[in-house]
Amino acid sequence: MSNKKDILEKDLLSEIDREKLFSEIQDNQMGESAKKNFLDNIMNNYFLDNDNFNFLEDNGIKIWEFSENENCICLEPKKYKDCCQLKLQPKRNENYISMVESLESNDSYNEYIKKMKHSFDKEIENFIKIGSCSFFDCHEKLVKSNLWDEKNFFDEEFFSALRQNVFDTRFTMGTTFFNKVDPKIFDYYGFCKEHSQIVSNNHLKISSSNDHEKILTLNFAIIAFKYYFAKNTYQVMYDEYINNYLSIEKIGHKAMMVFRLRKVINNLKEIKINFFEIQKALQKQDCSSFEFTDFDMKNQNNFVVRDIVQFAITPKNFTVINSVNNPFKKDLIAFMNVLVINKKTVVSFMHLKSSTELNDYFKEWKELNLEKKVDWETWISNNALILTDGILLNFKKWNDFNTEEKVLFSALNKFRFENPQPGQEYLKMKFFAGFNKGNNFF
Ligand SMILES: [Zn+2]
Ligand SMILES: [Zn+2]
């Protein structure tokens, strides 16, 4: 086996005429169509390395700053140079400390995230004041909803890595991030009083994974919840950029600010697409634009999920769905519900049929299941642990884990898109081992 691999690698290497390649690049004789293909490939890479970044920069594609001719960061159909670039505050703000600078000490970091949270809360006040219900044609005022409003749900204790402050994304390897869940974390404003009831599972009473219309309605609550956080997070980071970008001295710190804003914009765009598609589907009472993947599993009391998921790659052909560090790859989201109802676990995934990558993702996993290379219990458990923000583990289950497991699960839950770093390779290895062998929460 390893011989075969060696030979293959050797052949591939001998195929490459390094001298020729080098002189082509040096003379910039790469044809326009070849260059375009190469760029397209980089744009769809799962992980961009320094060479990719350099190639993009050399070809006039900026990652670390917004370029004049790209679509504006305010999402208006204008060029950046004609719109928000003109709004950049020229006056230096001496007191401003960027996120990267704030990492130097606990105090400055805490001050940074406190300030951001303060702006976020102010943004929300405004959102509640001017916003109206998400239902089509409903102009009623927003009321406070809770994503998990099933009666007595929080009589049980759940543990999760969710944090109250959305800007608090610093996690340290080797520590445990799961804490007892405060139900307030699931409060949001997205609906009027009447529609807030209609989208709640308390009212829907989903009893099986093929209740597609009910699941679509529950997913409307999920996307309204996500939209509420994504829109306001984006707004705070947009204001931070406009007001302080020119005050930052170090190029690297400026770059990080742009990079983070690009990621947030990508995410917001995809959330908006799904928000409006669900709104439309509910209005027409037709969920045919969505694909559902259903499971009715055995009863368990260990975990529940009500969230969106961002898969990374398809398991057989390794098609990239979402990237860890490529801000040019557009986000693709699916919905994931794990609900415990009537002595069984209802598991439902939903995604837009127009996304071929997501269609392939489910198709390929189903093939692997038929080939007996994966079983659904571990697959669902791992998707919930690794790809959702809000897996809620029952406290009893959580307490059954030993310290090493708690640390590993914490890291798997958090080191995904935001924090690519060297430790990730180790975690990935552990993760893939777990995917085939264990991490089964059923
Ligand atoms: Zn703009
Ligand atoms: Zn309404």
**Cα 217 from Cα 278, distance rounded (Å):** 8
- What share of the chain has pLDDT > 90, as a percent? 60
Ligand 2 centroid, distance to 7 Cα (angstroms): 65
Ligand 2 centroid, distance to 217 Cα (angstroms): 13
- What is the mean pLDDT of the segment spanning 16-32? 60
Phi, psi of 336 (to 5 degrees): -135, 125
Ranges of beta strands (E only) in 110-186 are 143-146, 158-160, 179-180
Distance, C-alpha 94 to centroid of its chain:
33
Compute the Cα dihedral for 128, 134, 139, 141 and give only its sign: negative
* Amino acid at site 297: M
Q: Is the pLDDT of residue 60 over 70?
A: yes
- What is the mean pLDDT of the segment spanning 7-28? 55
The end-to-end CA distance of the chain, in Å, is 36
- Tell me 355's DSSP state: -
**Cα 197 from Cα 389, distance rounded (Å):** 24
Query: What is the model's pLDDT at position 6?
Result: 54
Which ligand places an atom closest to the C-alpha of 282? 2
- What share of the chain has pLDDT > 70, as a percent? 87
Coil, strand or helix at 96? coil
Ligand 2 centroid, distance to 130 Cα (angstroms): 14
Q: Is the pLDDT of residue 44 over 90?
A: no
Higher pLDDT pick, 261 / 43:
261
pLDDT mean across residues, the chain: 87
Q: What angle do CA 270, 134, 154 make, to 5 degrees?
A: 90
Neighbours of 126 (CB within 10 A): 11
* Amino acid at site 321: I
> Residues with beta carbon < 5 A to ion ligand 2?
133, 135, 138, 140, 192, 195
Question: Which two three-digit tokens encode residue 116?
Answer: 């951001």
Neighbours of 317 (CB within 10 A): 10
Which ligand places an atom closest to the C-alpha of 193? 2
Ligand 1 centroid, distance to 238 Cα (angstroms): 10
Quick: pLDDT tens for 245-298: 999 999 999 999 999 999 999 999 999 999 999 999 999 999 999 999 999 999
**Cα 261 from Cα 242, distance rounded (Å):** 11
Quick: pLDDT tens for 229-238: 999 999 999 9
Distance, C-alpha 313 to centroid of its chain:
14
> Residues with beta carbon < 5 A to ion ligand 1?
72, 74, 83-84
Coil, strand or helix at 175? coil
Question: Which two three-digit tokens encode residue 398?
Answer: 């959580």
**Cα 208 from Cα 344, distance rounded (Å):** 9
Instruction: Give which of 184, 196, 213 is closest to 134, Cα–Cα.
Output: 196
**Cα 384 from Cα 378, distance rounded (Å):** 10
Going by pLDDT thresholds of 50, 70 and 90, the confidence category of residue 419 is very low
Q: Tell me which of 81-85, 315-319, 434-438 is least confident.
A: 434-438
Quick: pLDDT tens for 371-418: 988 889 989 998 999 889 889 999 999 999 999 889 888 888 876 655
- What is the mean pLDDT of the segment spanning 221-248? 97
Query: What is the model's pLDDT at position 2?
Result: 44
Which ligand places an atom closest to the C-alpha of 81? 1
Ligand 1 centroid, distance to 352 Cα (angstroms): 28
Ligand 2 centroid, distance to 231 Cα (angstroms): 19
β 344-352/303-309 pair status? unpaired
pTM: 0.88
Ranges of beta strands (E only) in 238-358 are 290-298, 303-309, 334-341, 344-352
- State which H helix or E strand residue 216 sits in: helix 212-244
Query: What is the model's pLDDT at position 355?
Result: 96
Question: Which two three-digit tokens encode residue 177?
Answer: 């991030």
Ligand 1 centroid, distance to 80 Cα (angstroms): 6
**Cα 243 from Cα 364, distance rounded (Å):** 46
Ligand 2 centroid, distance to 198 Cα (angstroms): 9
Q: What size, in residues, is the chain?
A: 442
Quick: pLDDT tens for 114-139: 999 999 999 999 999 999 999 999 99
Ligand 1 centroid, distance to 46 Cα (angstroms): 28
Query: What is the model's pLDDT at position 390?
Result: 80
Q: Tokens 């583990």 correspond to what residue?
A: 393
- Asked whether 151 and 203 are in contact (CB, 8 A), the reply is no
Query: What is the model's pLDDT at position 25?
Result: 55
Q: Is the pLDDT of residue 28 over 80?
A: no
Give 352's contacts (C-beta < 8 A, 6+ positions apart): 273, 274, 277, 289, 290, 291, 358
